[in-house]
Amino acid sequence: MPLNLTSDTSHLLCIDLQDGFHDDTVRIRVNNQLLAEKENVTSSPLTGIATYLETTVQGTFRLEVAVVSQGLTTQKTMQIATDTYVGVSIMAGRLDVIIRQEPFGYG
């Protein structure tokens, strides 16, 4: 579901829910618009990923990831100029976010 934000050029935004998820409910919003709500999100110990989703975005946007089942939320305002990959993990009772321009490798 593409979201039209604030630039002429769209880029891929890939959000990977990675380590630490166990039967969780997760909500992901971009600029306060619900992108996805996923239930029963569980990380694979073999691959290090629970699930992922992709959309296209433009310019500056706000990403919010909420693990509703654990009461955890993180928000990041980002400027996108190229395809962007975001990894979100639950570590030590908080959300850890990694942002990069290359896809994550799993397995």
Of residues 74, 73, 80, the one with CA closest to residue 55: 80
Rg of the chain over Cα atoms, rounded to whole angstroms, equals 13
CA distance 81 to 58: 8
CB 1 within 8 A of CB 35: yes
Look up residue 103 and give its two tokens. Answer: 């896809």
Please, which pLDDT band fits residue 5 given cuts at 50, 70 and 90? very low
CA distance 2 to 9: 12
pLDDT per residue over 25-74, tens digit each? 999 999 999 999 999 999 999 999 999 999 999 999 999 999 999 999 99
Q: Is 20 exposed, middle or buried (0-12, 13-18, 19+ CB in 10 A)?
A: buried
CA distance 42 to 23: 5
The fraction of the chain above a pLDDT of 90, given in percent, is 88
Instruction: List, in sequence order, the alpha helices (H) in 1-107.
Output: none
